[in-house]
Chain A
Amino acid sequence: MLAPALAAAGVLVLLPVVNTLWLSLHHVILYRPKSRPFVGLENYAAVLADPVFWESLGNSLVWVVGAVSLQFVLGFTTALLLNRSFAWRGIARALVVVPWALPSVIIGLIWTWMLDFNLGVLNNIGVKLGLLSASVPWLAQSETAMASVILAVMWQGFPFFAVTLLAGLQSIPAELYEAASIDGAGTLGKFIHITLPGLAGVIATSLLLRMIWVANSLDLILVMTGGGPGTATQTLPLHAFLTAWSGGNYGHGSALAVFLTILLLGVVITYLLRSREG
Protein backbone atom coordinates (compact mmCIF):
# COMPACT_ATOMS: atom_id res chain seq x y z
CA MET A 1 0.00 0.00 0.00
CA LEU A 2 2.96 2.25 0.60
CA ALA A 3 4.57 1.29 -2.68
CA PRO A 4 2.84 3.84 -4.96
CA ALA A 5 3.59 6.75 -2.62
CA LEU A 6 7.19 5.59 -2.15
CA ALA A 7 7.68 5.16 -5.89
CA ALA A 8 6.33 8.64 -6.62
CA ALA A 9 8.52 10.19 -3.93
CA GLY A 10 11.51 8.21 -5.22
CA VAL A 11 11.14 9.23 -8.85
CA LEU A 12 10.10 12.84 -8.30
CA VAL A 13 12.15 13.76 -5.23
CA LEU A 14 15.05 11.42 -4.50
CA LEU A 15 16.09 10.99 -8.11
CA PRO A 16 16.21 14.76 -8.75
CA VAL A 17 18.20 15.34 -5.55
CA VAL A 18 20.81 12.77 -6.59
CA ASN A 19 20.71 14.18 -10.08
CA THR A 20 21.41 17.71 -8.83
CA LEU A 21 24.40 16.45 -6.84
CA TRP A 22 25.62 14.74 -10.03
CA LEU A 23 25.03 17.80 -12.23
CA SER A 24 26.87 20.01 -9.76
CA LEU A 25 30.05 18.06 -10.51
CA HIS A 26 29.78 18.69 -14.25
CA HIS A 27 30.01 21.61 -16.57
CA VAL A 28 26.45 21.70 -17.91
CA ILE A 29 25.07 24.35 -20.21
CA LEU A 30 21.34 23.94 -20.88
CA TYR A 31 21.54 24.59 -24.60
CA ARG A 32 24.42 22.17 -25.18
CA PRO A 33 23.06 18.88 -23.83
CA LYS A 34 25.66 16.70 -25.62
CA SER A 35 28.76 18.09 -23.96
CA ARG A 36 28.86 17.89 -20.17
CA PRO A 37 32.44 17.25 -19.04
CA PHE A 38 33.15 16.14 -15.47
CA VAL A 39 34.81 18.99 -13.62
CA GLY A 40 34.89 17.73 -10.04
CA LEU A 41 34.46 20.50 -7.49
CA GLU A 42 35.12 23.29 -9.98
CA ASN A 43 31.52 24.57 -9.79
CA TYR A 44 31.79 24.79 -6.01
CA ALA A 45 35.04 26.70 -6.24
CA ALA A 46 33.40 29.03 -8.76
CA VAL A 47 30.50 29.59 -6.37
CA LEU A 48 32.79 30.49 -3.49
CA ALA A 49 34.75 32.87 -5.71
CA ASP A 50 31.56 34.51 -6.98
CA PRO A 51 30.86 37.81 -5.16
CA VAL A 52 27.16 37.53 -6.09
CA PHE A 53 26.99 34.30 -4.07
CA TRP A 54 28.16 36.06 -0.91
CA GLU A 55 25.83 38.95 -1.57
CA SER A 56 22.91 36.55 -2.08
CA LEU A 57 23.84 34.75 1.12
CA GLY A 58 23.74 38.06 2.99
CA ASN A 59 20.42 38.96 1.37
CA SER A 60 19.03 35.54 2.30
CA LEU A 61 20.04 36.12 5.90
CA VAL A 62 18.28 39.51 6.02
CA TRP A 63 15.25 38.03 4.25
CA VAL A 64 14.89 35.00 6.56
CA VAL A 65 15.60 36.81 9.84
CA GLY A 66 13.50 39.84 8.89
CA ALA A 67 10.55 37.90 7.51
CA VAL A 68 10.38 35.21 10.19
CA SER A 69 10.82 37.55 13.15
CA LEU A 70 8.19 40.01 11.90
CA GLN A 71 5.76 37.22 11.05
CA PHE A 72 6.35 35.71 14.47
CA VAL A 73 5.88 38.92 16.46
CA LEU A 74 2.69 39.91 14.64
CA GLY A 75 1.39 36.32 14.61
CA PHE A 76 2.04 35.85 18.33
CA THR A 77 0.34 39.15 19.15
CA THR A 78 -2.64 38.09 17.03
CA ALA A 79 -2.81 34.70 18.74
CA LEU A 80 -2.75 36.24 22.23
CA LEU A 81 -5.50 38.70 21.28
CA LEU A 82 -7.67 36.07 19.59
CA ASN A 83 -7.36 33.84 22.66
CA ARG A 84 -9.25 36.42 24.76
CA SER A 85 -13.02 36.37 24.67
CA PHE A 86 -14.99 39.04 22.85
CA ALA A 87 -18.23 38.99 20.88
CA TRP A 88 -16.94 38.65 17.30
CA ARG A 89 -13.98 36.38 18.06
CA GLY A 90 -15.20 33.59 15.76
CA ILE A 91 -15.36 35.84 12.70
CA ALA A 92 -12.00 37.43 13.50
CA ARG A 93 -10.36 34.00 13.82
CA ALA A 94 -11.79 32.92 10.46
CA LEU A 95 -10.91 36.08 8.52
CA VAL A 96 -7.36 36.54 9.77
CA VAL A 97 -6.19 33.60 7.63
CA VAL A 98 -7.20 35.20 4.31
CA PRO A 99 -3.65 36.28 3.26
CA TRP A 100 -2.40 32.74 3.84
CA ALA A 101 -4.83 31.27 1.27
CA LEU A 102 -3.55 33.38 -1.63
CA PRO A 103 -0.93 32.36 -4.20
CA SER A 104 2.43 34.12 -3.87
CA VAL A 105 2.01 35.49 -7.38
CA ILE A 106 -1.21 37.28 -6.39
CA ILE A 107 0.38 38.55 -3.18
CA GLY A 108 3.30 39.92 -5.19
CA LEU A 109 0.81 41.49 -7.57
CA ILE A 110 -1.23 43.16 -4.83
CA TRP A 111 1.80 44.64 -3.06
CA THR A 112 3.48 45.75 -6.29
CA TRP A 113 0.25 47.56 -7.11
CA MET A 114 -0.05 49.15 -3.67
CA LEU A 115 3.63 50.18 -3.61
CA ASP A 116 3.64 51.57 -7.15
CA PHE A 117 5.43 54.91 -7.51
CA ASN A 118 2.67 56.75 -9.42
CA LEU A 119 -0.49 54.83 -8.68
CA GLY A 120 0.26 53.05 -5.41
CA VAL A 121 -2.31 53.63 -2.72
CA LEU A 122 0.30 53.47 0.07
CA ASN A 123 2.25 56.38 -1.42
CA ASN A 124 -0.98 58.32 -1.71
CA ILE A 125 -1.98 57.67 1.92
CA GLY A 126 1.55 58.30 3.15
CA VAL A 127 1.73 61.69 1.44
CA LYS A 128 -1.77 62.65 2.59
CA LEU A 129 -0.99 61.81 6.21
CA GLY A 130 2.28 63.70 5.98
CA LEU A 131 4.39 60.57 6.63
CA LEU A 132 6.07 60.94 3.26
CA SER A 133 7.13 64.20 1.67
CA ALA A 134 6.82 62.70 -1.81
CA SER A 135 6.07 59.38 -3.50
CA VAL A 136 8.77 56.73 -2.96
CA PRO A 137 9.68 54.17 -5.64
CA TRP A 138 9.69 51.41 -2.99
CA LEU A 139 10.57 48.48 -5.25
CA ALA A 140 12.83 50.35 -7.65
CA GLN A 141 15.51 51.62 -5.25
CA SER A 142 17.87 49.29 -3.47
CA GLU A 143 17.52 50.93 -0.02
CA THR A 144 13.80 50.12 0.23
CA ALA A 145 13.33 47.09 -2.04
CA MET A 146 14.24 44.44 0.53
CA ALA A 147 12.07 46.03 3.23
CA SER A 148 9.17 46.10 0.76
CA VAL A 149 9.34 42.41 -0.14
CA ILE A 150 9.71 41.56 3.56
CA LEU A 151 6.55 43.56 4.27
CA ALA A 152 4.70 41.49 1.65
CA VAL A 153 5.96 38.17 3.01
CA MET A 154 5.08 39.26 6.54
CA TRP A 155 1.52 39.79 5.35
CA GLN A 156 1.49 36.37 3.71
CA GLY A 157 2.94 34.45 6.65
CA PHE A 158 1.78 35.98 9.93
CA PRO A 159 -1.55 34.05 9.88
CA PHE A 160 0.46 30.81 10.03
CA PHE A 161 1.93 31.82 13.37
CA ALA A 162 -1.40 33.22 14.53
CA VAL A 163 -3.30 29.94 14.06
CA THR A 164 -0.44 27.68 15.16
CA LEU A 165 0.24 29.60 18.36
CA LEU A 166 -3.49 30.04 19.03
CA ALA A 167 -3.89 26.24 18.93
CA GLY A 168 -0.94 26.02 21.33
CA LEU A 169 -2.49 28.58 23.68
CA GLN A 170 -5.75 26.65 23.75
CA SER A 171 -3.93 23.52 24.85
CA ILE A 172 -2.61 25.18 28.03
CA PRO A 173 -4.95 24.15 30.90
CA ALA A 174 -6.94 27.07 32.34
CA GLU A 175 -6.38 25.70 35.87
CA LEU A 176 -2.74 26.78 35.67
CA TYR A 177 -3.80 30.41 35.23
CA GLU A 178 -6.35 30.16 38.04
CA ALA A 179 -3.80 28.67 40.40
CA ALA A 180 -1.33 31.43 39.50
CA SER A 181 -3.96 34.10 40.14
CA ILE A 182 -4.62 32.64 43.58
CA ASP A 183 -0.89 32.73 44.26
CA GLY A 184 -0.95 36.42 43.34
CA ALA A 185 0.77 36.37 39.93
CA GLY A 186 0.17 39.36 37.64
CA THR A 187 -0.46 39.35 33.90
CA LEU A 188 3.24 39.56 33.05
CA GLY A 189 4.15 36.89 35.60
CA LYS A 190 1.57 34.51 34.14
CA PHE A 191 2.86 35.19 30.65
CA ILE A 192 6.47 34.48 31.61
CA HIS A 193 5.86 31.50 33.89
CA ILE A 194 2.89 29.76 32.23
CA THR A 195 2.30 30.93 28.65
CA LEU A 196 5.89 30.92 27.41
CA PRO A 197 6.92 27.54 28.90
CA GLY A 198 3.61 26.03 27.75
CA LEU A 199 4.19 27.26 24.20
CA ALA A 200 7.93 26.57 24.00
CA GLY A 201 7.53 23.40 21.92
CA VAL A 202 5.08 24.95 19.48
CA ILE A 203 7.19 28.09 19.13
CA ALA A 204 10.37 26.16 18.36
CA THR A 205 8.73 23.85 15.83
CA SER A 206 6.78 26.55 14.03
CA LEU A 207 9.83 28.84 13.87
CA LEU A 208 11.95 26.08 12.34
CA LEU A 209 9.31 25.06 9.80
CA ARG A 210 8.75 28.67 8.83
CA MET A 211 12.46 29.39 8.49
CA ILE A 212 12.84 26.53 6.04
CA TRP A 213 9.82 27.67 4.08
CA VAL A 214 10.92 31.31 3.89
CA ALA A 215 14.52 30.38 3.06
CA ASN A 216 13.30 28.24 0.14
CA SER A 217 10.61 30.50 -1.25
CA LEU A 218 11.53 32.62 -4.21
CA ASP A 219 8.29 33.21 -6.12
CA LEU A 220 7.23 36.31 -4.18
CA ILE A 221 10.56 38.06 -4.78
CA LEU A 222 10.64 36.85 -8.38
CA VAL A 223 7.27 38.47 -9.04
CA MET A 224 7.91 41.71 -7.14
CA THR A 225 11.48 42.62 -8.09
CA GLY A 226 13.03 39.69 -9.98
CA GLY A 227 15.94 40.00 -7.53
CA GLY A 228 16.58 43.62 -8.34
CA PRO A 229 17.21 46.46 -8.49
CA GLY A 230 20.65 45.11 -9.35
CA THR A 231 21.00 42.27 -6.89
CA ALA A 232 19.44 44.06 -3.91
CA THR A 233 16.76 41.43 -3.29
CA GLN A 234 18.46 38.40 -4.82
CA THR A 235 18.37 35.59 -2.28
CA LEU A 236 20.25 32.30 -2.57
CA PRO A 237 17.45 30.18 -4.12
CA LEU A 238 16.63 32.98 -6.54
CA HIS A 239 20.30 33.30 -7.52
CA ALA A 240 20.43 29.52 -8.13
CA PHE A 241 17.22 29.65 -10.14
CA LEU A 242 18.32 32.60 -12.28
CA THR A 243 21.80 31.14 -12.85
CA ALA A 244 20.40 27.81 -14.02
CA TRP A 245 17.29 29.01 -15.80
CA SER A 246 17.94 32.40 -17.34
CA GLY A 247 21.71 31.91 -17.48
CA GLY A 248 21.40 28.32 -18.70
CA ASN A 249 24.32 27.30 -16.46
CA TYR A 250 22.99 24.14 -14.80
CA GLY A 251 26.27 23.06 -13.24
CA HIS A 252 26.81 26.33 -11.39
CA GLY A 253 23.10 26.59 -10.48
CA SER A 254 23.13 23.03 -9.11
CA ALA A 255 26.17 23.78 -6.96
CA LEU A 256 24.31 26.81 -5.55
CA ALA A 257 21.26 24.64 -4.84
CA VAL A 258 23.47 22.13 -3.01
CA PHE A 259 24.94 24.91 -0.86
CA LEU A 260 21.44 26.05 0.05
CA THR A 261 20.45 22.48 0.89
CA ILE A 262 23.45 22.01 3.16
CA LEU A 263 22.60 25.22 5.02
CA LEU A 264 18.99 24.11 5.45
CA LEU A 265 20.05 20.63 6.45
CA GLY A 266 21.51 22.16 9.60
CA VAL A 267 18.06 23.54 10.41
CA VAL A 268 16.36 20.26 9.45
CA ILE A 269 18.66 18.18 11.66
CA THR A 270 17.89 20.46 14.60
CA TYR A 271 14.20 19.91 13.90
CA LEU A 272 14.51 16.13 13.65
CA LEU A 273 16.56 15.89 16.85
CA ARG A 274 13.93 17.97 18.59
CA SER A 275 10.98 15.92 17.34
CA ARG A 276 12.77 12.72 18.34
CA GLU A 277 13.00 14.00 21.91
CA GLY A 278 9.28 14.85 21.83
Chain B
Amino acid sequence: MKRLRLLLGTELPVGLILAFALLPWIWMMLSSIRPDAELTQSPIALWPHQLTLAHHIELLNRTSFAENLRDSLIVATGAVSLGLGLALPAAYAFSRFRFRGRNYLRTQFLVINMFPVVMLILPLFVLMRDFGLLDTYVALISGHATFTLPFAIWLLTSYIDGIPPELDQAAMIDGATRLQALRLVVQPLAMPGIVAVGIYLFIASWNEYLFALMLAGRNVRTVTVALQLFIGENQIQWGLLMAGGSLVALPATILFLFAQRRLVGGLTGGAVKG
Protein backbone atom coordinates (compact mmCIF):
# COMPACT_ATOMS: atom_id res chain seq x y z
CA MET B 1 0.00 0.00 0.00
CA LYS B 2 2.80 2.38 0.94
CA ARG B 3 4.66 1.34 -2.19
CA LEU B 4 1.59 2.08 -4.33
CA ARG B 5 1.18 5.49 -2.75
CA LEU B 6 4.81 6.33 -3.49
CA LEU B 7 4.36 5.16 -7.07
CA LEU B 8 1.15 7.08 -7.78
CA GLY B 9 1.75 10.12 -5.59
CA THR B 10 5.40 10.78 -6.33
CA GLU B 11 7.04 8.62 -8.97
CA LEU B 12 4.29 8.92 -11.58
CA PRO B 13 4.08 12.75 -11.48
CA VAL B 14 7.88 13.03 -11.48
CA GLY B 15 7.94 10.72 -14.49
CA LEU B 16 5.40 12.92 -16.30
CA ILE B 17 7.37 16.08 -15.56
CA LEU B 18 10.59 14.44 -16.73
CA ALA B 19 8.84 13.35 -19.91
CA PHE B 20 7.76 16.97 -20.49
CA ALA B 21 11.34 18.16 -19.84
CA LEU B 22 13.09 15.56 -21.97
CA LEU B 23 10.78 14.54 -24.82
CA PRO B 24 11.18 17.74 -26.89
CA TRP B 25 14.96 17.37 -26.58
CA ILE B 26 14.75 13.71 -27.57
CA TRP B 27 12.42 14.56 -30.48
CA MET B 28 15.00 17.00 -31.86
CA MET B 29 17.81 14.44 -31.57
CA LEU B 30 15.63 11.77 -33.17
CA SER B 31 14.50 14.06 -36.00
CA SER B 32 18.13 14.86 -36.81
CA ILE B 33 18.88 11.22 -37.65
CA ARG B 34 15.78 10.42 -39.72
CA PRO B 35 15.85 10.55 -43.52
CA ASP B 36 14.06 13.37 -45.35
CA ALA B 37 11.47 10.94 -46.67
CA GLU B 38 10.20 10.45 -43.11
CA LEU B 39 10.48 14.10 -42.08
CA THR B 40 8.41 15.39 -45.00
CA GLN B 41 5.57 12.93 -44.64
CA SER B 42 2.43 14.35 -43.07
CA PRO B 43 1.31 13.30 -40.49
CA ILE B 44 4.74 12.48 -39.19
CA ALA B 45 5.29 8.95 -37.89
CA LEU B 46 6.21 8.71 -34.21
CA TRP B 47 8.56 5.75 -34.62
CA PRO B 48 11.49 6.04 -37.04
CA HIS B 49 11.89 3.25 -39.58
CA GLN B 50 15.34 4.19 -40.68
CA LEU B 51 18.20 6.11 -39.09
CA THR B 52 20.82 8.09 -40.96
CA LEU B 53 23.62 10.59 -40.39
CA ALA B 54 23.02 12.15 -43.81
CA HIS B 55 21.85 15.49 -42.35
CA HIS B 56 24.90 15.87 -40.14
CA ILE B 57 27.23 15.03 -43.02
CA GLU B 58 25.49 17.40 -45.42
CA LEU B 59 25.44 20.16 -42.82
CA LEU B 60 29.17 19.91 -42.15
CA ASN B 61 30.27 19.38 -45.77
CA ARG B 62 27.91 21.54 -47.81
CA THR B 63 27.14 24.50 -45.58
CA SER B 64 29.28 26.87 -43.54
CA PHE B 65 28.19 25.23 -40.30
CA ALA B 66 31.65 23.83 -39.50
CA GLU B 67 33.02 27.39 -39.63
CA ASN B 68 30.11 28.60 -37.47
CA LEU B 69 30.97 25.95 -34.89
CA ARG B 70 34.59 27.11 -34.98
CA ASP B 71 33.54 30.76 -34.52
CA SER B 72 31.30 29.84 -31.59
CA LEU B 73 34.15 27.87 -30.03
CA ILE B 74 36.60 30.76 -30.41
CA VAL B 75 34.15 33.31 -29.02
CA ALA B 76 33.11 31.12 -26.08
CA THR B 77 36.72 30.25 -25.20
CA GLY B 78 37.69 33.91 -25.44
CA ALA B 79 34.74 34.93 -23.27
CA VAL B 80 35.79 32.37 -20.63
CA SER B 81 39.39 33.67 -20.56
CA LEU B 82 38.46 37.34 -20.52
CA GLY B 83 35.57 36.82 -18.09
CA LEU B 84 37.72 34.90 -15.61
CA GLY B 85 40.58 37.39 -16.07
CA LEU B 86 38.25 40.25 -15.09
CA ALA B 87 36.17 38.44 -12.48
CA LEU B 88 38.88 36.70 -10.45
CA PRO B 89 40.77 39.85 -9.29
CA ALA B 90 37.46 41.66 -8.71
CA ALA B 91 36.08 38.76 -6.67
CA TYR B 92 39.32 38.61 -4.67
CA ALA B 93 39.04 42.33 -3.90
CA PHE B 94 35.38 41.99 -2.86
CA SER B 95 36.27 39.06 -0.62
CA ARG B 96 39.44 40.38 1.06
CA PHE B 97 39.24 44.15 1.24
CA ARG B 98 36.76 46.20 3.22
CA PHE B 99 36.55 49.45 1.29
CA ARG B 100 34.01 52.23 1.12
CA GLY B 101 31.19 51.56 -1.28
CA ARG B 102 31.92 47.81 -1.35
CA ASN B 103 28.33 46.72 -0.81
CA TYR B 104 27.12 49.46 -3.12
CA LEU B 105 29.40 48.24 -5.91
CA ARG B 106 28.38 44.61 -5.40
CA THR B 107 24.76 45.64 -5.88
CA GLN B 108 25.66 47.76 -8.89
CA PHE B 109 27.18 44.76 -10.58
CA LEU B 110 23.90 42.92 -10.15
CA VAL B 111 21.97 45.83 -11.59
CA ILE B 112 23.90 45.38 -14.85
CA ASN B 113 21.83 42.29 -15.52
CA MET B 114 18.62 44.20 -15.16
CA PHE B 115 19.09 46.62 -18.01
CA PRO B 116 17.17 45.40 -21.05
CA VAL B 117 19.55 44.04 -23.63
CA VAL B 118 17.81 46.18 -26.27
CA MET B 119 18.83 49.23 -24.27
CA LEU B 120 22.52 48.22 -24.49
CA ILE B 121 22.67 46.66 -27.88
CA LEU B 122 21.81 49.69 -30.04
CA PRO B 123 24.55 52.01 -28.72
CA LEU B 124 27.01 49.10 -28.54
CA PHE B 125 26.45 48.54 -32.24
CA VAL B 126 27.26 52.20 -32.95
CA LEU B 127 30.24 52.09 -30.56
CA MET B 128 31.71 48.97 -32.13
CA ARG B 129 31.14 50.40 -35.61
CA ASP B 130 32.98 53.61 -34.72
CA PHE B 131 35.93 51.60 -33.41
CA GLY B 132 35.90 49.36 -36.49
CA LEU B 133 35.29 46.32 -34.28
CA LEU B 134 31.97 45.30 -35.81
CA ASP B 135 31.94 41.68 -36.97
CA THR B 136 35.14 40.73 -35.11
CA TYR B 137 35.87 38.20 -32.39
CA VAL B 138 36.89 41.07 -30.08
CA ALA B 139 33.41 42.63 -30.24
CA LEU B 140 31.61 39.42 -29.31
CA ILE B 141 34.11 38.27 -26.70
CA SER B 142 34.06 41.59 -24.85
CA GLY B 143 30.27 41.81 -25.08
CA HIS B 144 29.72 38.30 -23.74
CA ALA B 145 32.36 38.61 -21.01
CA THR B 146 30.88 41.85 -19.68
CA PHE B 147 27.31 40.67 -19.68
CA THR B 148 28.19 37.59 -17.62
CA LEU B 149 30.54 39.49 -15.29
CA PRO B 150 28.07 40.13 -12.43
CA PHE B 151 27.21 36.50 -11.89
CA ALA B 152 30.84 35.39 -12.35
CA ILE B 153 32.02 37.86 -9.69
CA TRP B 154 29.16 36.95 -7.37
CA LEU B 155 29.87 33.22 -7.54
CA LEU B 156 33.68 33.54 -7.34
CA THR B 157 33.43 35.87 -4.33
CA SER B 158 31.49 33.26 -2.40
CA TYR B 159 34.12 30.65 -3.28
CA ILE B 160 37.02 32.86 -2.20
CA ASP B 161 35.15 33.76 1.00
CA GLY B 162 35.46 30.08 1.87
CA ILE B 163 39.27 30.18 1.72
CA PRO B 164 40.78 31.43 5.03
CA PRO B 165 42.51 34.83 4.58
CA GLU B 166 45.23 33.59 6.98
CA LEU B 167 46.59 31.56 4.07
CA ASP B 168 47.31 34.61 1.88
CA GLN B 169 48.66 36.47 4.92
CA ALA B 170 51.07 33.60 5.62
CA ALA B 171 52.22 33.71 1.99
CA MET B 172 52.77 37.47 2.20
CA ILE B 173 54.77 37.13 5.43
CA ASP B 174 56.95 34.68 3.49
CA GLY B 175 57.59 37.48 0.99
CA ALA B 176 54.88 37.01 -1.65
CA THR B 177 53.10 40.03 -3.12
CA ARG B 178 49.28 40.34 -3.14
CA LEU B 179 49.09 39.15 -6.72
CA GLN B 180 51.42 36.24 -6.03
CA ALA B 181 49.27 35.26 -3.07
CA LEU B 182 46.22 35.33 -5.33
CA ARG B 183 47.92 33.37 -8.09
CA LEU B 184 49.85 30.83 -6.00
CA VAL B 185 47.61 30.31 -2.96
CA VAL B 186 44.02 31.36 -3.60
CA GLN B 187 43.71 30.37 -7.26
CA PRO B 188 44.62 26.67 -6.80
CA LEU B 189 42.29 26.38 -3.81
CA ALA B 190 39.43 28.07 -5.65
CA MET B 191 39.90 25.87 -8.73
CA PRO B 192 36.57 23.99 -8.41
CA GLY B 193 34.74 27.32 -8.30
CA ILE B 194 36.80 28.69 -11.17
CA VAL B 195 35.97 25.65 -13.29
CA ALA B 196 32.25 25.99 -12.52
CA VAL B 197 32.26 29.70 -13.40
CA GLY B 198 34.27 28.94 -16.54
CA ILE B 199 31.66 26.42 -17.65
CA TYR B 200 28.89 28.92 -16.93
CA LEU B 201 30.67 31.57 -19.03
CA PHE B 202 31.18 29.07 -21.83
CA ILE B 203 27.52 28.00 -21.96
CA ALA B 204 26.26 31.58 -21.70
CA SER B 205 28.42 32.68 -24.62
CA TRP B 206 27.77 29.53 -26.67
CA ASN B 207 23.99 29.98 -26.28
CA GLU B 208 23.83 33.75 -26.78
CA TYR B 209 21.99 35.11 -29.79
CA LEU B 210 21.25 38.85 -29.77
CA PHE B 211 24.80 40.16 -29.29
CA ALA B 212 26.04 37.62 -31.82
CA LEU B 213 23.47 38.84 -34.33
CA MET B 214 23.98 42.57 -33.81
CA LEU B 215 27.71 42.87 -33.15
CA ALA B 216 28.75 40.27 -35.72
CA GLY B 217 27.01 37.93 -38.12
CA ARG B 218 28.80 38.08 -41.43
CA ASN B 219 32.51 37.23 -41.09
CA VAL B 220 32.10 35.98 -37.54
CA ARG B 221 28.88 34.00 -37.42
CA THR B 222 28.11 31.89 -34.36
CA VAL B 223 25.94 28.78 -34.49
CA THR B 224 22.86 30.40 -32.97
CA VAL B 225 22.82 33.12 -35.64
CA ALA B 226 23.52 30.58 -38.38
CA LEU B 227 20.60 28.38 -37.29
CA GLN B 228 18.24 31.35 -37.11
CA LEU B 229 19.22 32.28 -40.67
CA PHE B 230 18.47 28.72 -41.80
CA ILE B 231 14.96 29.07 -40.37
CA GLY B 232 14.47 32.28 -42.34
CA GLU B 233 15.06 30.56 -45.65
CA ASN B 234 12.09 29.93 -47.93
CA GLN B 235 12.13 26.17 -47.93
CA ILE B 236 12.75 25.04 -44.35
CA GLN B 237 14.95 21.95 -44.29
CA TRP B 238 14.02 20.45 -40.97
CA GLY B 239 16.54 17.64 -41.17
CA LEU B 240 19.46 20.07 -41.51
CA LEU B 241 18.04 22.35 -38.82
CA MET B 242 17.62 19.51 -36.36
CA ALA B 243 21.13 18.23 -37.12
CA GLY B 244 22.45 21.73 -36.41
CA GLY B 245 20.36 21.93 -33.25
CA SER B 246 21.67 18.60 -32.03
CA LEU B 247 25.30 19.66 -32.62
CA VAL B 248 24.76 22.91 -30.68
CA ALA B 249 22.66 21.42 -27.89
CA LEU B 250 24.87 18.45 -27.08
CA PRO B 251 27.95 20.30 -25.73
CA ALA B 252 25.75 22.70 -23.73
CA THR B 253 23.73 19.85 -22.23
CA ILE B 254 26.77 17.75 -21.31
CA LEU B 255 28.67 20.68 -19.78
CA PHE B 256 25.60 21.79 -17.84
CA LEU B 257 24.94 18.33 -16.42
CA PHE B 258 28.63 18.11 -15.52
CA ALA B 259 28.75 21.42 -13.65
CA GLN B 260 25.17 21.64 -12.46
CA ARG B 261 25.57 20.86 -8.79
CA ARG B 262 28.12 23.64 -8.25
CA LEU B 263 26.35 26.06 -10.56
CA VAL B 264 22.96 25.52 -9.01
CA GLY B 265 24.47 26.11 -5.59
CA GLY B 266 25.83 29.42 -6.82
CA LEU B 267 22.78 30.42 -8.82
CA THR B 268 20.45 29.73 -5.96
CA GLY B 269 22.75 30.75 -3.11
CA GLY B 270 21.87 34.40 -3.50
CA ALA B 271 18.16 33.72 -3.86
CA VAL B 272 18.09 31.43 -0.84
CA LYS B 273 20.01 33.89 1.32
CA GLY B 274 18.03 36.84 -0.03
Q: Which residues on A are within 8 Å of B, measured CB to CB? A: 1-2, 4-6, 8-9, 12-13, 15-17, 19-20, 23, 74, 77-78, 81-82, 84, 86, 92, 94-106, 109-114, 118-121, 123-125, 127, 135, 155, 158-159, 163-164, 167-168, 171, 201-202, 204-206, 209, 212, 215-216, 218-219, 222-223, 237, 240-241, 244-245, 250, 253-254, 256-258, 260-261, 264-265, 267-268, 272, 274-275, 278
A244: chain B residues at CB < 8 Å are 118, 122
Q: Identify A113's interface contact among B40, B90, B241, B260, CB under 8 A.
A: B241
- For the complex, is B44 an interface residue (Cβ under 8 Å from A)? yes
Some 22 contacts from A to B, beta carbons below 8 A apart, are A2-B90, A16-B127, A17-B115, A20-B119, A96-B17, A98-B21, A102-B253, A103-B206, A106-B28, A113-B27, A113-B242, A119-B43, A121-B27, A163-B264, A163-B267, A168-B272, A245-B214, A253-B122, A256-B118, A257-B122, A260-B116, A268-B111
- Tell me if A103 and B127 are in contact (CB < 8 A): no
- Tell me if B146 and A12 are in contact (CB < 8 A): yes
- For the complex, is B1 an interface residue (Cβ under 8 Å from A)? no
Taken together as a complex, chains A and B put the C-alpha atoms of A105 and B123 apart, in Å, by 24
Residues 35-94 (chain B) with a chain A CB within 8 angstroms: 39-44, 46, 85-87, 89-90, 92-94
- Chain B: interface residue count, which band? 35 or more
A159 and B271 in contact (CB under 8 A), knowing A5-B89, A20-B123? Answer: no
- For the complex, is B100 an interface residue (Cβ under 8 Å from A)? no
A164 and B267 in contact (CB under 8 A), knowing A253-B122, A257-B119? Answer: yes
- Tell me if B120 and A17 are in contact (CB < 8 A): yes
A110 and B118 in contact (CB under 8 A), knowing A5-B153, A92-B18, A96-B18? Answer: no
A105 and B209 in contact (CB under 8 A), knowing A12-B146, A94-B260, A113-B31? Answer: yes
- Tell me if B24 and A268 are in contact (CB < 8 A): no
A114 and B22 in contact (CB under 8 A), knowing A94-B260, A102-B207, A119-B40? Answer: no
- Tell me if B124 and A16 are in contact (CB < 8 A): yes
Q: Identify A206's interface contact among B86, B113, B271, CB under 8 A.
A: B271
- Tell me if B116 and A261 are in contact (CB < 8 A): yes
Q: Identify A159's interface contact among B21, B227, B242, B255, CB under 8 A.
A: B21
Taken together as a complex, chains A and B put the C-alpha atoms of A167 and B85 apart, in Å, by 30
Bitwise interface map of B from 237 to 274 toward A, beta carbon under 8 Å scored 1, else 0: 01001100100110011011100100011011111111
Q: Which of A105, A219, A253, A268 has the most CB of B within 10 A?
A: A105
A84 and B10 in contact (CB under 8 A), knowing A94-B257, A104-B209, A113-B242? Answer: yes
Taken together as a complex, chains A and B put the C-alpha atoms of A114 and B203 apart, in Å, by 25
Taken together as a complex, chains A and B put the C-alpha atoms of A50 and B173 apart, in Å, by 67
B124: chain A residues at CB < 8 Å are 12, 16
- Tell me if B268 and A105 are in contact (CB < 8 A): no
B185: chain A residues at CB < 8 Å are none
**How far in angstroms is the closest Cβ of chain A from B191?**
19
B113: chain A residues at CB < 8 Å are 212
- Tell me if A2 and B272 are in contact (CB < 8 A): no
- Tell me if B21 and A106 are in contact (CB < 8 A): no
B118: chain A residues at CB < 8 Å are 216, 218, 237, 240-241, 244, 253, 256-257, 260
Taken together as a complex, chains A and B put the C-alpha atoms of A101 and B248 apart, in Å, by 11
**How far in angstroms is the closest Cβ of chain A from B49?**
16
A264: chain B residues at CB < 8 Å are 114, 116
Bitwise interface map of B from 185 to 196 toward A, beta carbon under 8 Å scored 1, else 0: 000000000000
B209: chain A residues at CB < 8 Å are 103-105, 219, 223
- Tell me if B114 and A268 are in contact (CB < 8 A): yes
**How far in angstroms is the closest Cβ of chain B from A113?**
6
Q: Identify B42's interface contact among A81, A100, A118, CB under 8 A.
A: A118
**How far in angstroms is the closest Cβ of chain B from A215?**
8
Closest 5 A-B residue pairs measured CB to CB? A101-B256, A103-B207, A19-B123, A5-B90, A16-B123
Which chain A residue lies CB-closest to B82? A8
Bitwise interface map of B from 108 to 144 toward A, beta carbon under 8 Å scored 1, else 0: 0101111111111111101100000000000000110
